[in-house]
Amino acid sequence: MEICGLVTEKNESVPLKSISVQVLVQDHVATVSSTLQYVNEEERPLEALFVFPLPADAAVCHFSAKIGEQEIVAEVQDRESARDQYDDAVSSGQQAFLLEESAESPDVFRLSVGCLSAGQNAAVTIIYVTELSVQADHSLRFCLPAVLNPRYTPAGSRAGIVSEISSGCGSVPYTLSLSVHVSSPKPISKLESSCSLDPLVFLHSDHTQATVNLSPGHMFDKDVELFVFYQETHQPSAIVEAGVTTAPPGSLMRDPVVMISLYPEFPEEVMSSLATRGEFVFVIDRSGSMGDMMHHGKGAQMRIESAKDTLLLLLKSLPMGCYFNIYGFGSDFESFFPQSIMYNQKTMAQALKRVKEMQADMGGTEILQPLKHIYSQRCHPDHPRQLFVFTDGEVGDTKEVLDLVKSHAHSHRCFSFGIGEGASAALITGMAREGSGHAQFITDTDRMQPKVMQSLRFALQPAVVNISVDWTLPDGITVDTLSPPINVLFQGQRTLIYAQLKGESSGGSEGAVTVKYSLKDQPVTNQLHFCLKPTEETGLSIHRLAARTLIRSLEQEERSGAADVEGIRSRMVELSVQAGVSSVHTAFIAVNKDSRQTVKGPLQQRRVQTRDLSLVIALMQANCAEVRTHASHYSACYAEEQSFRCSKKKILRTFTERAFLKMSNWVPEEILNFFRRGSATAPSDQTDSETAPEPQKDLLLQLVSLQKASGCWDLDATLADVFGKTEDELTNQKPAQVDGSVWATLLALIWLYGCKIEQQVEWQFVAMKAASWIGSQKVGDLSQCVCAGNVLLGCQVTKETLGI
């Protein structure tokens, strides 16, 4: 009955009442202050546990609690010391608060609230700083996670904090308010969000400062995403932040710290011809949760169906002669081919046939074993390995996965995709970081295809090698680089470097950083000059992010089996305490020692939910009698391969992974998978009004599905159907001197540019292959053919636009 621990024994509302968030965005760094309002509505003193998500690379730098009019500010201590102090305080009846990071996943935190007297209120404030990631449309993304999905923990592994988290369906029993203040040297173009916002208010005429609020009534049932657009956002920049004069001499917090933002620009001749070789390995999550919907709006797809459509685009976009393979994973894994196979028409067709058959039917989420199997396969000479991983990110062994990816960073690049609300930012961003690749998140109504095709463009870019960073500084100043060595650069993507500046300048006020690398055997140099004078009003956000970066590197060094583990751990704790930021070996502890009276009576332990679990709890408290009653009926439905819409009266649409594990001793695995897909109910529960409408055909995907691996199309009725024509109409308008396949391929290109230009990022490689194929054919007057095609399809596309 552990799953019921998230509510009071009377099944009443949890003690968290509201969350108030203030976000200060300075250029591409955000400082986030969250205040959580608690109230103990019970008749006994309460100890509450609130497990919640934060961005993966956030540096928690402040934690305080206000009880009545008295505020107590936490301090960072060694983790074990902090736990001992918390236990001692609680056992003696003192009010205490403990904030600690998960040992398994750095994006999960646990807040213990000890000894709240009956009827007492407490306001807990947490402040953290984080970097904003660059998106495909050049915006900067800020995300306030609302959902933390249950992390699947393989049998035999340590559960830890991660296993204490649950999510279900329904709304959370607390409210959220959020205000954002944006400040930047560059003018702000606009702010967009996945949630409803009040109008943007500019504070200055030059549009360098603005505020915006989340509209009232937000239920916090999904992540809050903000996208900040600046003018000239891709300009290299540097921020120098002054240190703290009271910090120990020579320490990170005493000296100035610089944050360099680089946007490398590759020579145009290199980018004009993308790589035509490579080994492309696609790893698809097929756990039960992939049967969930991408979002709750109109026209939503199941996650697995969106992944299948994306695989279609990827397979059609690969260059002839490369190698590829596809893996599906859940509790186990399988691959389409014993090893990566050469890409041609035959192997592409075989793969597409199996893609159509894929379902979210493979149980839990265990990604470690398929990755180990992939890495055990030999690499193909002259075909660099590109790994594409799609998952909703629910794993409990995140750090072990990241260590594995990092240990094979020399042999591949890893591109990761977090699907749906609650995907672990630590897993998704971490895999891309350790695998020298790029991470994407597909949430709410985002289409998966354009984001994945952007990553494919990165994967087809030639690898940047021999990267070096050199500093030019005035006499008397030295530099200590805090960031790990740069091992990947992509066109149009930001690279951050943190460095500590030591010493005193003898007169110079300018420094420079030079990044050199080789691209297709050609040397490239990018240089940025910057002023050494500290930037005003940055607080200590740059120092704290720099400390967090260094702590992460030390954690990796510790896990890799370094000889001096104790020395590394000691340095981590010292750095964490000095900078006031969290780490896996430290915790924030606050004890209200000035309380006039101790709390008396036995403590009631409550685990505070991140989302409502009332329906799960009702089922579990009834010993899942309703589930048992209908299990045989659902088994029959499954055996007959019938699909019915989910009835809320009969069964919870989505169970937590842990609930499934508890039920597995009396419910067959195929029934669990059937429930996971959310498609089981009795025929009598479905009425005509509930019948789902037929989904509209996606003409773009239809067209892409008909393309041959070489890049051409056949002239037939299925192609004509995409254009809304008959096969005779296509054939009768064909110029006499043109081959049928050339005419079909030309029409497909004209249709793409004339009717689907807004989705060009999705079909760009399909079109490149088609244009290349036409160029390889002996065709007479192409201009006349293009004119005829325009007339037939009602378009106005030029030959030059088509790239032929």
Kindly report, residue by residue over 487-505, the tens digit of the pLDDT. Answer: 778 776 788 899 999 998 7
721 and 585 in a common domain: no
- If asked whether residues 346 and 483 sit together in one domain, one would say no
pLDDT in tens, 361-372: 998 888 999 999
pLDDT, mean of residues 322-327: 96
- Within-domain flag for 1: no
* 522 and 483 share one domain: yes
Mean pLDDT calculated for residue range 65-87: 88
One domain, residues 75 and 188: yes
Asked if 334 and 783 touch (Cβ cutoff 8 Å), the reply is: no
Distance CA 53, CA 34 (A): 12
Would the pLDDT of 467 be above 50?
A: yes
For 238-271, b/e burial (b = at least 16 CB within 10 A) is bbbbbbeeeeeeeebbbbbbbbbbbbbebeeeee
Side-chain-side CA neighbours of residue 398 (13 Å): 29
**Quick one: tokens of 136?**
């495909």
Residue 428 CA neighbour count, 13 Å, CB half? 23
Pairing of strands 412-419, 385-391: parallel
Cα–Cα distance, 203 to 207 (Å, whole number) = 7
Q: Give the chain's domain count.
A: 5
In terms of domains, do 684 and 770 share one?
Answer: no
Given a cut of 80, whether residue 41 has pLDDT beyond it is no
Least confident of 6-10, 48-52, 760-764: 6-10
pLDDT digits (tens, 9 = 90+) for 122-146: 888 889 999 988 877 788 888 887 6
Contact of 497 with 483, CB cutoff 8 Å: yes
Q: Of 244, 178, 166, whose CA–CA distance to 216 is shortest?
A: 178
Residue 680: pLDDT above 60? no
Do 757 and 789 belong to one domain? Answer: yes
Residues across the chain: 804
- Kindly state the average pLDDT of the residues 459-487: 88
Taking all residues of the chain, what is their mean pLDDT, rounded to a whole number?
Answer: 78
HSE-CB at 613 with a 13 A cutoff on CA atoms is 27
Asked if 224 and 120 sit in the same domain, the reply is yes
Q: Where are the beta strands (DSSP E) in 102-164?
A: 108-116, 121-131, 133-134, 140-144
User: Residue 223: what pLDDT?
Assistant: 74
Residue 52 shares a structural domain with residue 201: yes
Are residues 793 and 686 part of one domain? no
Strand, coil or helix: what is 777?
Answer: coil
pLDDT category of residue 594 using cuts at 50, 70 and 90: low
pLDDT at 101: 84
Range of the domain at 650: 613-690
Residue 682 has pLDDT above 60, yes or no: no
Residue 506 has pLDDT above 90, yes or no: no
Is residue 60 a contact partner of residue 149, using CB atoms and an 8 Å limit? no
- State the residue for tokens 């309703």: 626
Helices (H), 677-733: 699-706, 717-723, 727-732
Start-to-end Cα distance in the chain: 66
**What pLDDT, on the 0 to 100 scale, is given for residue 751?**
95
Question: Which pLDDT does position 15 carry in this prediction?
Answer: 62
Q: pLDDT at residue 628 above 80? A: no
Answer with the residue of higher pLDDT: 36 or 77.
77
Name the percent of the chain in helix, strand, coil, to the closest 5. Answer: 30, 30, 40
Instruction: Give 345-359 pLDDT, tens digit per residue.
Output: 999 999 999 999 999
- Residue 564 placed within a domain: yes
H helix or E strand, kind and range, residue 470: strand 464-472
Helix, strand, or coil (residue 494): coil
How far apart are the C-alpha atoms of 74 and 69, rounded to whole Å? 16
Q: Please tell me which of 137-146, 329-338, 430-439 the model is most confident about, judged by mean pLDDT.
A: 329-338
**Residue 673: pLDDT above 50?**
no
| pLDDT confidence tier of residue 616, bands split at 50, 70 and 90 | very low
Instruction: Residue 337: give its domain's CATH number.
Output: 3.40.50.410
pLDDT tens digit string along 214-232? 888 776 667 788 999 988 7
Angle between helix 541-559 and helix 398-407 axes, rounded to 10 deg: 80
Q: Is 75 exposed, middle or buried (0-12, 13-18, 19+ CB in 10 A)?
A: middle
Q: What is the pLDDT of residue 272?
A: 56
Return the pLDDT at 117: 77
- Report pLDDT for 240: 92
Which of 600, 605, 611, 531 is CA-nearest to residue 165?
611
**Do 228 and 197 reside in the same domain of the chain?**
yes
pLDDT at 626 over 70: no
Main-chain phi, psi angles of 231, to 5 degrees: -75, 140
83 close to 587: Cβ distance less than 8 angstroms: yes
Contact 440, 452 (CB under 8 A): yes
Q: How far is CA 560 from CA 403, 564, 568, in A?
A: 8, 11, 12
Section 376-382 average pLDDT:
88
Whether residue 68 is predicted with pLDDT greater than 80 in this model: the reply is no
Q: Is the pLDDT of residue 250 over 90?
A: no
Classify residue 707: in a domain, yes or no. yes
Structural domain includes residue 8? no
Helix 345-357 and helix 303-317: axis angle, to 10°? Answer: 180
DSSP reduced 3-state for 660: helix
User: CATH number, domain at 564?
Assistant: 2.60.40
pLDDT at residue 725 is higher than 50: yes
Nearest to 495 by CA among 549, 414, 573, 420: 549
292 within some domain: yes
Mean per-residue pLDDT, 733-739: 88
**What is the pLDDT averaged over residues 539-553?**
91
Rounded CA gap, 176 and 35, in Å? 10
What φ, ψ does residue 191 adopt, rounded to 5°? -125, 135
**Residues β-bridged to residue 257:** 241, 500
**695 vs 497, higher pLDDT:** 497
pLDDT category of residue 791 using cuts at 50, 70 and 90? very high
Distance CA 127, CA 738 (A): 67
Q: Are residues 354 and 322 in the same domain?
A: yes
Percentage with pLDDT > 90 across the chain: 34
Tally Cβ neighbours within 10 Å of residue 644: 17
Is there a single domain that holds both residue 93 and residue 196? yes
Q: Is the pLDDT of residue 657 over 50?
A: no
Name which of 321-335, 394-408, 555-569, 740-754 the model is least confident about.
555-569
> What is d(CA 484, CA 430) in angstroms, rounded to the nearest whole number?
14
Six token digits for residue 361: 């039917």
- Give the residue-averaged pLDDT of 596-620: 39
**In the structure, what pLDDT confidence band is assigned to residue 705 with cuts at 50, 70 and 90?**
very high
Beta bridge partners of 529: 512
Assigned domain for 168 exists: yes
